[in-house]
């Protein structure tokens, strides 16, 4: 029967594992108050910023923002799967791993995923074998022409898809693979019948009903955690063929191009060690860079850089170096990626490769030049200013237009000192005064719509300046509330009963609080790492500082009183916003001549003012009050 390990058992394993001694096997830790500190194993640093909290059985790095519990640490440091680590810790702690029964829908999803990964593994082994056979001679010659050594080919699992319409199809048929599964993974294409219709692919795959999708291509497997094969990217070998140079597996339940980076499992250790990632355009570029010693190199998979891919890189490093091809297309792609990264909490630099060259060629022919170009990579804002203004005309209209293009890019630089420096540089580049460029930037900020989605805390400062989002007080109160709930999870039901979620203006903060309530109901605790993982780096550090300072778990702390004070502050801020809303609505009703609505609104206004005054008086007396309707 299909089962999963219950959450409470996972929590028991964590609680019975000494996080300090376990992490201490990999990091030299020293006592620092109630915590332990050491040099972070996930990025290079000289001053310890890696903190382990024994009471919460968790760790946090204020340098690279890595965080988690003892299970997450071992997964990251040893490259093992969740279940592998859990099983080892459970055995050491003497905890039996009972498993709860999965629902029918969970069983179907899990079964499908296992089946898809199994078939991908079959295809992977087939392609690897074909590379070594006589039919793979052309592919081997291509690898030799790029000076790609056996170690590199092995590290990335390179294979070859034969120049045949049914070689893989026949191989999968011999293993009894269903045509529907092969088609979903993009390994085979279901043939059309004479009437032009595709038959139902419910039976086993066969040459009569299907043909190979990848033919005469060098095959690059896209690997996931634990070495699972998620999909494939195939490079055309025949330069005279009219087909696309690269074709990729389609989206499937196990493969999402926008959430995947080619070469990440191989590059991950070097990325952590060097605290940077080099982003190139093609798979062969990744191999060439790896072989030249730049092992921290990855590439998107047939798509422009996505927000999700940026988020993945940000988990490992603080710097991205773009090393795109030295042609017009590569420069355009670099500009687009640099514009995206300018808005992210990550440093971006752009390495300018010579015209007509690509990273793999430079890595092979001029490795010293490549290293020099990477080290001299230009900061992304400077690159964008130079690129956008390089062909600027002398007319005022041309200069203003360039400033308007630069404005939204500069407006996303969060550090005000850095932003001001680039104001000056942009002004010189476009031939305008700095104040004129700043006015264009302010116009871009005021006219831009807030980004949708993303982690909690994104764009809070800009939103507060426009009066659209949480103020710094709002954020402070929510962070204090979350600290209390992590430290004293028994208080969570009070938060639910008082309907605190309804007082929060930002929907993502509401979701975070709902998640805390859900975790407490299911496991009796609020997992700090799950909460931290949903925050932007600046908010994440603020919450982590609260958590690791023991702000609410020292002696003499009245947690219930602290909770009520915080809830009252949040409620009071909500009442202030409600008063502003009502005053505006009353004016609108008066202009519209709606006397009854105006009267109702005034009555509501007076009631809100009274409640705000009562809260103020209660705070002065050291008391607190709150509503009772549960709105979570």
Q: What is the DSSP string of 485-539?
A: HHH-GGGHHHHHHTTGGGG-S-HHHHHHHHHHHHHHHHHSS--HHHHHTTB-HHH
Say yes or no to pLDDT of 556 above 60.
Answer: no
Domain coordinates in residue numbering, the chain: 3-100, 105-255, 259-384, 391-448, 472-620
Q: What is the structure's pLDDT at 449? A: 38
| Separation CA 320–CA 316 (nearest Å) | 10
Tell whether the torsion through CA atoms of 119, 121, 125 and 131 is positive or negative. Answer: positive
Q: Indicate the DSSP class of residue 453.
A: S
Top pLDDT among 469 and 23 is at: 23
Neighbours of 194 (CB within 10 A): 5
Say yes or no to pLDDT of 135 above 90.
Answer: yes
Structure tokens at 402: 């360039």
Say yes or no to pLDDT of 579 above 80.
Answer: yes
Q: What is the structure's pLDDT at 280? A: 96
pLDDT confidence band for 111 (50 / 70 / 90): confident
> Max alpha carbon distance in the chain (Å)?
90
224-267 tens-digit pLDDT? 755 789 999 999 988 777 788 888 999 998 898 888 899 988 88
Burial class (CB in 10 A: 0-12, 13-18, 19+), 415: exposed
Chain length of the chain: 632
Q: Minimum mean pLDDT among 80-89, 265-274, 443-452: which range?
A: 443-452
First to last CA, the chain: 35
Residues 403-416: what's their mean pLDDT? 76
**What are 598-601's contacts with CB under 8 Å, separation 24+?**
none
Say yes or no to pLDDT of 467 above 50.
Answer: no
165-211 tens-digit pLDDT? 999 999 999 999 998 899 999 999 987 665 555 555 567 788 888 89
Give the highest mean pLDDT range of 246-250, 463-467, 527-531, 586-590: 246-250
Q: What is the structure's pLDDT at 193? A: 60
Residues 277-296: what's their mean pLDDT? 94
Architecture, CATH, for domain 472-620: Orthogonal Bundle (1.10)
Architecture, CATH, for domain 3-100: Alpha-Beta Complex (3.90)
Contact call for residues 298 and 263 (beta carbons, < 8 A): yes
Top pLDDT among 203 and 364 is at: 364
Output the average pLDDT for the chain: 80
**Where does 259-384 sit in CATH, by number?**
3.40.1360.10
Top pLDDT among 109 and 456 is at: 109
**pTM here?**
0.58
Top pLDDT among 551 and 267 is at: 267
Q: What is the structure's pLDDT at 353? A: 92
Encode 182-242 in three state secondary structure.
Answer: HHHCCCEEECCCCCCCCCCCCCECCCCCEEECCCCEEEEEEECHHHCEEEEEEEECCCCCC
| Separation CA 277–CA 321 (nearest Å) | 6
Say yes or no to pLDDT of 614 above 80.
Answer: no
Give whole-number Cα distances, 603 to 576, 579, 613, in Å: 16, 12, 15
Tell whether the torsion through CA atoms of 205, 210, 211 and 212 is positive or negative. Answer: negative
CA 235 to chain centre: 28
Encode 163-195 in three state secondary structure.
Answer: CCCCHHHHHHHHCCCEHHHHHHCCCEEECCCCC
Say yes or no to pLDDT of 627 above 50.
Answer: no
Contact call for residues 9 and 3 (beta carbons, < 8 A): no
Give whole-number Cα distances, 613 to 360, 605, 609, 619, 625, in Å: 69, 12, 6, 10, 12
pLDDT confidence band for 160 (50 / 70 / 90): very high
| Separation CA 591–CA 455 (nearest Å) | 40
Phi-psi group of 378: left, alpha or beta (phi > 0 → left; psi -120 to 50 → alpha; rest → beta) = beta
Residues 111-126: what's their mean pLDDT? 91
11-65 tens-digit pLDDT? 778 877 888 888 988 888 888 876 888 988 887 777 888 888 876 778 888 888 7
Superfamily of domain 105-255: DNA primase, catalytic core, N-terminal domain (3.90.980.10)
Three-state secondary-structure class, residue 482 = helix
Percentage with pLDDT > 70 across the chain? 82
């Amino acid at each position: 029967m299909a089962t999963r390990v219950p959450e409470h058992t996972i929590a028991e394993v964590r609680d019975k594992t000494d996080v300090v001694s376990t992490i201490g096997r990999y990091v030299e830790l020293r006592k620092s108050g109630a915590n332990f500190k050491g040099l972070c194993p996930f990025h290079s640093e000289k001053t310890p910023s890696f903190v382990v909290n024994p009471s919460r059985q968790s760790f946090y790095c204020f340098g690279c923002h890595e965080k988690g519990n003892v299970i997450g640490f071992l997964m990251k440091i040893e490259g093992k799967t969740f279940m592998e680590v859990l099983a080892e810790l459970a055995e050491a702690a003497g905890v039996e791993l009972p498993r709860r029964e999965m629902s029918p829908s969970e069983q179907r999803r899990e079964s499908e995923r296992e089946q898809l990964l199994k078939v991908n593994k079959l295809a992977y082994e087939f392609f690897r074998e074909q590379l070594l056979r006589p039919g793979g001679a052309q592919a081997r010659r291509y690898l030799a022409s790029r000076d790609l050594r056996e170690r590199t080919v092995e590290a990335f699992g390179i294979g070859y898809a034969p120049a045949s319409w049914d070689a893989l199809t026949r191989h999968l048929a011999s293993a009894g693979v269903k045509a529907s599964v092969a088609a979903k993974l993009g390994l085979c294409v279901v043939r059309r019948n004479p009437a032009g219709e595709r038959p139902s692919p419910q039976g086993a795959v066969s040459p009569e009903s299907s043909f190979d999708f990848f033919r005469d291509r060098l095959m690059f497997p896209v690997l996931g955690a634990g070495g699972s094969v998620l999909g494939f990217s195939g490079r055309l070998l025949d330069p005279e063929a009219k087909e696309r140079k690269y074709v990729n597996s389609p989206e499937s339940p196990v493969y999402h191009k926008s959430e995947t980076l080619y070469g990440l499992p191989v590059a991950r250790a070097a990325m952590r060690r060097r605290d940077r990632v080099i982003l190139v355009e093609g798979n062969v570029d990744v191999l060439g860079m790896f072989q030249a010693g730049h092992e921290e190199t990855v590439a998107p998979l047939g798509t422009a850089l996505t927000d999700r891919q940026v988020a993945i890189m940000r988990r490992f490093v603080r710097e991205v170096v773009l090393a795109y091809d030295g042609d017009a297309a590569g420069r355009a792609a670099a500009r687009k990626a640099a514009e995206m990264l300018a808005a992210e909490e990550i440093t971006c630099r752009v390495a300018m490769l010579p015209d007509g060259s690509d990273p793999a060629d430079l890595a092979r022919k001029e490795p010293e030049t490549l290293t020099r170009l990477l080290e001299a990579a230009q900061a992304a804002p400077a690159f964008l200013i130079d690129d956008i203004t390089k062909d600027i005309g002398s007319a005022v209209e041309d200069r203003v237009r360039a400033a308007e293009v630069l404005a939204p890019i500069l407006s996303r630089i969060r550090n005000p000192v850095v932003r001001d420096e680039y104001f000056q540089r942009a002004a010189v580049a476009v031939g305008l005064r700095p104040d004129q460029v700043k006015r264009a930037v302010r116009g871009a900020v005021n006219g831009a719509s807030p980004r949708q989605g993303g982690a909690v805390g994104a764009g809070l400062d800009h939103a507060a300046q426009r009066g659209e989002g949480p103020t710094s007080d709002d954020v402070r109160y929510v962070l204090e509330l979350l600290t209390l709930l992590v430290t004293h999870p028994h208080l969570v039901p009070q938060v639910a009963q008082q309907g605190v979620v309804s007082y929060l203006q930002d929907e993502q903060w509401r979701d975070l609080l709902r998640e805390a309530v859900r975790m407490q109901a299911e496991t009796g605790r609020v997992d700090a790492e799950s909460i931290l993982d949903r925050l932007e780096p600046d908010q994440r550090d603020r919450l982590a500082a609260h958590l690791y300072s023991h702000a609410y778990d020292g002696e003499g702390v009245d947690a219930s009183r602290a909770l009520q004070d915080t809830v009252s502050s949040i409620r009071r801020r909500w009442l202030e916003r409600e008063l502003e809303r009502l005053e505006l609505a009353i004016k609108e009703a008066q202009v519209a001549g709606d006397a009854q609505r105006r009267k109702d609104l005034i009555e509501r206004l007076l009631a809100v003012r009274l409640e705000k005054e009562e809260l103020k008086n209660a705070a002065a007396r050291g008391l607190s009050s709150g509503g009772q309707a549960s709105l979570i």
